[in-house]
Structure 1
Amino acid sequence: MTSGSYRALAVGTALALLWTSGAALSQSALPVADEASAEQEAMPVTSDGATLLPRLDVGAGAEGTAGTNLIAVTPEEMDRKKPANLREIFTGEPAVAIGGSIPSTQKIYVNGVDETNLAVTVDGSRQNNKVFHHNGTYLIDPALLKAVTVQAGVAPADAGPAALGGSMGLETKDAVDLLEPGRNFGGFLTGTWDTNSETFTTGASAFGMQDGFEFLGYINYSKGGNFTAGNGEEMLGTGTNLLAGLGKIAYETPEGNRFELSHEQVRDDALRPYRANAYINIRNEPVLRNYELNRQNTVFTYTNTMPEGWWDPKVVLAYSRTQVETPVFNRATGEIIAPAIGATSSFNGKVENKFSFDIGSVTAGFDFYSDRAKLSYDAVPPEFPDERASNVGAYAQARLEPFDRARISFGGRIDNQWFTGVDDTDFSNAGVSGNLSGEYDLVPDFLTAKAGISHVWGGIPLAENFIQNPAWTYPDDLEAVTSNNYTVGLEARFEGLTLEASLFRTDIDNARFPTAGNAMRNFDLRTKGWEIGARYEWDAAFASIKYADISADVDGIPADSEVGRYLTTPIGQIIMLGGGYTFHDWGVRLGGDVEIALKNEDTLVKHPTDPSDKVALPGYTVANAFVEYTPPTHTNFTLRADVRNIFDESYTNRASYGQDFEGVKPHLDPGRSFRLSATMRF
């Protein structure tokens, strides 16, 4: 399809939305009073008339824990940001860095720790996404997400096994999140046009609930060309061909027993640089090759929305899978040898119950996973190596408020892991993890101190698919990876002003870093830093600023993006500013954000394993803004305009791979672009 066809499709979609808006006016939202009464009717109540609040799950499927560094991107924040990729989800949060200029190469770093060292779930399903170090570790369409929560560093025991650097939970949307008040059925259409890459994105959804049944179906498709960097250079291999979908069905009995089944799938299929996250070619390798990345996540969940006494159960049974397929070329002749297919998967689940008391609760249960990482390379000779790991764990986590000014949480877990190498050698290991955190109001309603500490046993991590070698052998005394995390902070609140400061450190010992010739090479990782921030909110607006200084060492030497490929990346000093204002009477909302990265010279130190000379990371400043309009008389219709990289800065995001080496050409990020979108709800 030509770019002209995309423009025609965009205009046609916009006209269709406008045409249907008039017919949909009769289905607009209820008055405010009716909304309140509808919400009250929807809330379950106990026999004595008390309202039961819904169970709040944050941070890798686990409840928020007092004293930890909790980063929560709420549904309200998601609606304000309307992110198009992972990086835009975390604007305003310098502790979370996203490397990669396109969705298929984006990687997440929390306090400088690579996402593969976190306990990551989607709707409670464990993710096993270490497929290829030149790809991102996680591909998802943000349009599917309701909220994202991160517990940086110290994570609770019920966050799952191997939460070495913390936990992260992503939650997709439900029908109840999208339905207009007072309605049982609904849907929406969206259309977005990006002027830089001439990318058009269109989405459609339908959802409803009736007699205890719920359903949701959503599909989103993006198609476009290469984008242009701030210096005017076209970045080859950055086109868009992304298809994402989400389906959910649920049933809730009158007694509150809720059964839900969801399936989410994302596919990215396009030409990328030969090494997808940087321009690195050896001899006669082509500049571009096709990458097809598929990820799927299927989850069954049972909960009770009206718990009584000590009965508040949760059961999760899930399967997740990520696959990358790309051809391998002969470096001497430039001819295709064979396609290489790498796939990681996880069959996982948990059974737990939350026991509530007057002063808090205790969550206890057990979980399991069966993970696999496999490479299929049909060359001569063919290679089909794979590694497998299974784990069973038991855990308990207490969250207590022993008196008015103090909140405390502590817990532990015991894990037993079975690991099988490419040569079918089996190993069995067991370990114990524990955590303690809390917060105390030094001055009630004004100043709170918080701190946390944890020790985590992580077992033997699987190697990424594309590095696996069928000739690998393993030592008899495999050592599990472990970590220690420390956080301490202060938070002050006065009317609408919040001031916060925190220190953090993560030590990961015996982290696995395999090479083609060494299955069990390992390093020790140390990340540390501090963060300060301020936020002021009033009726219709907010303003915020945060500064983070994050450093990382690998075996005692400052890390770079090569030696840190499974562990970390050099971050340095980042400043993020944000603000927004809503004109309620006019239906207008506007806002913006700025990211400032200061020059980082830590990368000039050369690690013994580095392949080439080093360069410092340059500083940059990137500003973005948006304006959104929802007509007061047509509240089911929204128009939005975003300006990304307003000043057309030529830069590479601080967390992106390869920019700290001589002779490596990293991806530049997109230059100035205008993003125009329309949403129609019915």
Structure 2
Amino acid sequence: MKAYGIFAAMTAGLLPVAALAQDQDDEVFLGTIVLEYPTVPGLGEETISVTSDGIALSNPADLSELFVAEPTIAVGSSIPMSQKVYVNGIEENNLAISIDGARQNNKIFHHNTTTLIDPALLKAVRIDPGVAPADAGPGALGGALAYETKDAADLLAPGDTFGGRYKFEYDSNGDVRSNSVSLYGTGGRVEYLGFLKYATGDLREDGDGETIVGSGTDVLSGLGKMAYQTATGSRFELSYERVTDDEARPYRANIGTIIGGRPVPATRPYELERTNVVFSYTKTAPTATWDPTIRLAYSGTELFNDESALSTMQTIRGETTSFSGEASNRFVLGWGTLNAGVDFYSDRASIDYTYLPNAAFDEEAREKLKNLGVFAQMRTNPTEMSKLSFGLRADFQEFTGVDGSKQSEAGLSANISGEVSITDRFSLSGGYSHIWGGLELAENYIMNPAWTYPEDGLEETTADNIYVAASYDVGNWAVDGKVFATQIDNARAAGYGGGPGLTTDVETRGFELGLGTGWDGGFFRAGFARVDTEVDGRNADSYTGNYLTMPMGDFLTFQTAHRLGNGILVGGDAQVAFDYDDTYDPATGGQGPELPGYTVVNAFAEYSPGKIGDLTLRAEINNLFDESYASRATYGQEFDTVVPLREPGRSVRLSAEIVF
């Protein structure tokens, strides 16, 4: 694969359910989705190979654009700091989330995002929907979601020891401007990278020309990495990543307006900071018996609402942190590979509330959770036409409540998946996992220092996942499909007044179809998905489904790109959400209102003039037909008392990047 646009390129699977494992010799078809930027083999190349492997160019500004071509992945909210990702209908906090291998514990406030991340930092995103391997980490109730940031080696051209790049981007909707700079290189056995980006902008408008409340831009993100490699191939790496969002947002950051209810200001300050620090040891020249991964990591997210100048006259600070680690080794055996090891985490969640007029109403509360895990995952090829993966993990937990009470639990998780090629064009696959999630921390903003925990302790959360898939190649076309289901039992749903022991059962099920083809210089793919969601045995609603699921429905996606002979790359995508009426009305206990469908089309052109060095120019028209809509995964669309956050209307985005 040749590089183009110097990291403006993002690769994705040709089909939404195609397995694109990072190491296909070791991985089995899990329905894995991998999005990644290509490694640069040389600078200044003017062509890109867009083949049936499915390379899609993208320039994602937020998570909704990052996953735009995946019909089973939905992103709610039009404001990045309140966006949430749903995989097969399951909210991301029920997945094993990691950034560069570091566990993320970000369940602070149900009105804001759970993992604020700048896509400009990313090299790859890997999603194991539903069935995930045991070495993906603990708590993979609905699968796993792993973000990986860029390394200097991804950016340097062969033979170079130093490089950099500068990028400017402008979006007409909101007058959003962003500047980013990267410097990277190697010296002796040391490798380093530094990245900094700052984006600012005004309020944006929806497709009707109405201002989207709290939609201004004020984001600062950065990444620093340093690695040292010994003569024997031992690699030590330290990375520091941080992103902040500091702007006035809707008072409830994922909702436009609440009609009625207690009076609150239209907006309030939200200062959100997320930090990720990772130290790791690996071998660049492993042997069959020594291929270790040793990692220590710290991740933390802090949210601060300073309402001292508002009528509410309060300040609220929530913080979640996770100290985690892993020590594992990959053994190459005669009949496959075995990855085995231990991992741990120590998570904390806290809330500090100050009511400025009367200190008697001040509150603070904290919960803690520790976990020690032992895991093994076997990957093998029983025959030339088949693959098999199976794994087991045991987790041991200790929970500490806001009152200092303690609870210890332990449980087992198991998974198995396999693929068999019936012919060289037709294959079948399937998988199943039972996950013990154990105990969970409550959301920070609803923790109550007066909670009394159940005498027999909090209930343990478990999940079962299953899928069956098939793939068939017809000439230059590929067709595949998958059916899937996830059942989560006793998911913690604590409430400030309801108590710490409330639980909810969640079920999602659906199917996915994909069709795609590639040609010399281009590709086309289409995907259709139906995702049905339930909470406690009835249709899901977004209130009860906080941190769990949302009403979803039917989605259709298209994506295409083609390299013209003059070096210009053109392409686009379309997303269609169909009308959906399987909703729930808590007021009546019956069916809720129909959620309206929408169609959104985006187009782009990218050009790298060979006579101007390593310069890449890009122009996009997003929401080409100025559709006025709220993303299906956005909170509150089924409630008459909620005005949901709408998505931005038509915008023109221009960018220029130069490599030096």
What TM-score, normalized by structure 2, do the two folds share?
0.91
Identity between Structure 1 and Structure 2 (%): 45
Task: Map 1:484-523; keep pairs closer than 5 Å.
Answer: 484-517=464-497, 518-523=499-504
Cα offset, 1:403, TM superposition:
1.2
Matched, 1:325 2:304: yes
Check whether the contact 2:346–2:370 (CA below 8 A) recurs between aligned residues: yes
Q: Output one character per residue of 1:292-330: Cα deviation in whole Å (capped at 9) or x when no partner.
A: 000010001110010112110001100000111113589
Matched, 1:391 2:391: no
Matched, 1:95 2:60: no
2:272 alignment partner in structure 1: 293
1:598, 1:526 → 2: CA distance?
21
Cα offset, 1:352, TM superposition:
0.1
1:176, 1:313 → 2: CA distance?
20
1:145 alignment partner in structure 2: 122
Cα offset, 1:512, TM superposition:
0.7
Cα offset, 1:58, TM superposition:
5.5
Check whether the contact 2:322–2:348 (CA below 8 A) recurs between aligned residues: yes
For 1:548, which of 529, 541, 548 is the aligned residue?
A: 529
Cα offset, 1:563, TM superposition:
1.1
1:124 alignment partner in structure 2: 101
For 2:30, which of 58, 65, 68 is the aligned residue?
A: 68
2:300, 2:478 → 1: CA distance?
41
1:632 alignment partner in structure 2: 610
Task: Map 1:156-555; keep pairs closer than 5 Å.
Answer: 156-281=133-258, 282-327=261-306, 335-379=311-355, 380=359, 381-443=361-423, 445-477=424-456, 478-517=458-497, 518-555=499-536
Q: Output one character per residue of 1:594-650: Cα deviation in whole Å (capped at 9) or x when no partner.
A: 0000000011x324798x994221000000000000012335100000100000000
Q: What stretches of structure 1 move > 3 A for 4+ residues in a row?
A: 56-59, 62-65, 76-79, 280-284, 327-330, 607-610
2:25, 2:592 → 1: CA distance?
43
1:665 alignment partner in structure 2: 643
Q: Output one character per residue of 1:61-81: Cα deviation in whole Å (capped at 9) or x when no partner.
A: x99741311011121489820
1:542, 1:64 → 2: CA distance?
27
Q: Output one character per residue of 1:646-678: Cα deviation in whole Å (capped at 9) or x when no partner.
A: 000000001111111102111110000000000
Task: Give the match's secondary structure for 1:280.
Answer: strand
Q: Output one character per residue of 1:457-480: Cα deviation in whole Å (capped at 9) or x when no partner.
A: 001111111011111111122221
Query: AA paired with 1:492?
Result: Y
2:381, 2:91 → 1: CA distance?
33
2:218, 2:582 → 1: CA distance?
37
Cα offset, 1:496, TM superposition:
3.4
Query: AA paired with 2:107?
Result: K
Check whether the contact 2:601–2:623 (CA below 8 A) recurs between aligned residues: yes
1:79, 1:639 → 2: CA distance?
17
1:635, 1:646 → 2: CA distance?
31
Larger proportion of helix: 1
Check whether the contact 1:489–1:503 (CA below 8 A) recurs between aligned residues: yes
Task: Give the match's secondary structure for 1:458.
Answer: strand
For 1:557, which of 538, 541, 548 is the aligned residue?
A: 538
Cα offset, 1:511, TM superposition:
0.6
Task: Give the match's secondary structure for 1:116.
Answer: helix
Check whether the contact 1:64–1:70 (CA below 8 A) recurs between aligned residues: no
Check whether the contact 2:57–2:561 (CA below 8 A) recurs between aligned residues: no
Over aligned residues, Cα RMSD in angstroms? 2.0
Structure 2: segments with no counterpart, 5+ residues:
4-19, 39-53
1:576, 1:405 → 2: CA distance?
31
Would the alpha carbon gap of residues 315 and 495 (structure 1) be closer, same or farther in structure 2, given more than 3 Å must change? farther
Check whether the contact 1:613–1:661 (CA below 8 A) recurs between aligned residues: no
Check whether the contact 1:327–1:336 (CA below 8 A) recurs between aligned residues: no
Cα offset, 1:549, TM superposition:
0.2
Cα offset, 1:426, TM superposition:
0.2
Cα offset, 1:587, TM superposition:
2.0
Larger mean CA deviation between 94-103 and 626-635 belongs to 626-635
Cα offset, 1:209, TM superposition:
1.1
Query: AA paired with 1:529?
Result: G
Would the alpha carbon gap of residues 396 and 321 (structure 1) be closer, same or farther in structure 2, given more than 3 Å must change? same
Query: AA paired with 1:457?
Result: W
Query: AA paired with 2:80?
Result: P
Task: Give the match's secondary structure for 2:381.
Answer: strand
Check whether the contact 2:585–2:638 (CA below 8 A) recurs between aligned residues: no
Q: With CA pairs under 8 Å and 6+ residues apart, which has the higher RCO, 1 or 2?
A: 2
2:118, 2:36 → 1: CA distance?
16
Task: Give the match's secondary structure for 2:611.
Answer: coil
What TM-score, normalized by structure 1, do the two folds share?
0.88
Query: How many residue pairs get matched?
Result: 620
Cα offset, 1:560, TM superposition:
1.3
Would the alpha carbon gap of residues 488 and 654 (structure 1) be closer, same or farther in structure 2, given more than 3 Å must change? same
Would the alpha carbon gap of residues 485 and 65 (structure 1) be closer, same or farther in structure 2, given more than 3 Å must change? farther
Cα offset, 1:181, TM superposition:
2.6
Check whether the contact 2:288–2:332 (CA below 8 A) recurs between aligned residues: yes
1:520, 1:280 → 2: CA distance?
30
Query: AA paired with 1:312?
Result: D
Q: Output one character per residue of 1:240-281: Cα deviation in whole Å (capped at 9) or x when no partner.
A: 000000000001112110000000000000011110111335
Check whether the contact 1:387–1:422 (CA below 8 A) recurs between aligned residues: yes
Q: Output one character per residue of 1:404-428: Cα deviation in whole Å (capped at 9) or x when no partner.
A: 0010000100000000111111000
Check whether the contact 1:139–1:266 (CA below 8 A) recurs between aligned residues: yes
Task: Map 1:579-658; keep pairs closer than 5 Å.
Answer: 579-583=560-564, 585-603=565-583, 605-607=584-586, 614-658=592-636
Check whether the contact 1:586–1:631 (CA below 8 A) recurs between aligned residues: no
Task: Give the match's secondary structure for 1:361.
Answer: strand
1:613, 1:537 → 2: CA distance?
43
Query: AA paired with 2:446?
Result: I
Check whether the contact 2:212–2:256 (CA below 8 A) recurs between aligned residues: no
Would the alpha carbon gap of residues 662 and 78 (structure 1) be closer, same or farther in structure 2, given more than 3 Å must change? farther
2:338, 2:613 → 1: CA distance?
43
2:28, 2:586 → 1: CA distance?
38
